[in-house]
Amino acid sequence: MVQQESPDAQRFITGPAGALEVRTARPLRALAGPPRAVVVCHPHPKFGGTMDNKVVTTLARAATDVGWHAVRFNFRGVGASTGSYDEGRGETEDARAVVDWVAAHWPDHRPALAGFSFGAWVAIRLASMTSLSRLLTVAPPVDRLAGADARAVDCPWWLIQGMADEVVDADRVIGWAETLAKPPHVVSLPGVSHFFHGQLSVLRGLAREFFQEDG
């Protein structure tokens, strides 16, 4: 029998600029112990990024595959979320509001945070400011990481980077990660593009490993 994906529940929560559109997915099987949840941040709003991006949904599905709740949301001004684009500053506060909502909803385990591209930059910014259980970033645009002090990230952290990325300079990403005092666990994928064309199953498998790692 083929296991079905968990259906997403749509809701709105109060964010710093108004309503934020949020979708939550239940795990396909329950974990022993307190429930765990991850918040996933989407790519750049000015270039069509939404919570329905295929990399974002792949990360969310990987989480529910292995017993986590997954929470996706639209940044301000995207989809049904109110407000307007704020150069990453307001978007970081949007992510904080969702993380805080998740922490209140499942209070026994601090949330994890994940992000893709612009969403990875937002995730690193927020991880440098608040406590998280773990951090997963995919193709972070490190040349644009103003305001993100990655040295302050103090949780288990994986960075996944396609080496044929046509949007983000993969060599710069790997080099940047190596300069950090507490570098993330870096997974570099030869021949893989920014949007993981034809490689989403590889990404899903890696993300499952991340969510199953001890910690």
CA–CA separation, 14 and 101 (whole Å): 9
Lowest mean pLDDT among 25-34, 109-118, 162-171: 25-34
* pLDDT tier at 6, thresholds 50, 70, 90: low
Q: What average pLDDT does the segment 156-177 reach? A: 96
At 215 the pLDDT is: 61
Higher pLDDT, residue 123 or 152: 123
- The answer on pLDDT for 5 being more than 70 is no
Please state which CATH class domain 11-212 belongs to. Answer: alpha beta
What are residue 66's phi and psi, to 5 degrees? -115, 20
At 2 the pLDDT is: 36
- The answer on pLDDT for 20 being more than 60 is yes
Q: What angle do CA 154, 159, 160 make, to 5 degrees?
A: 165
User: What's the Cα-to-Cα distance from 64 to each of 96, 117, 197, rounded to whole Å?
Assistant: 21, 21, 22
Q: What average pLDDT does the segment 104-126 reach? A: 96
At 146 the pLDDT is: 65
CB neighbours (10 Å) of residue 129?
16
- The answer on pLDDT for 81 being more than 70 is yes
- The answer on pLDDT for 41 being more than 80 is yes
- The answer on pLDDT for 140 being more than 70 is yes
What is the residue type of 72?
R
Check: CB of residue 44 under 8 Å from CB of residue 72. no
List Cβ neighbours of 124 (8 Å cut-off, separation of 6 or more): 115, 135, 137, 140, 145, 148, 150, 153
* pLDDT tier at 1, thresholds 50, 70, 90: very low
- The answer on pLDDT for 101 being more than 80 is yes
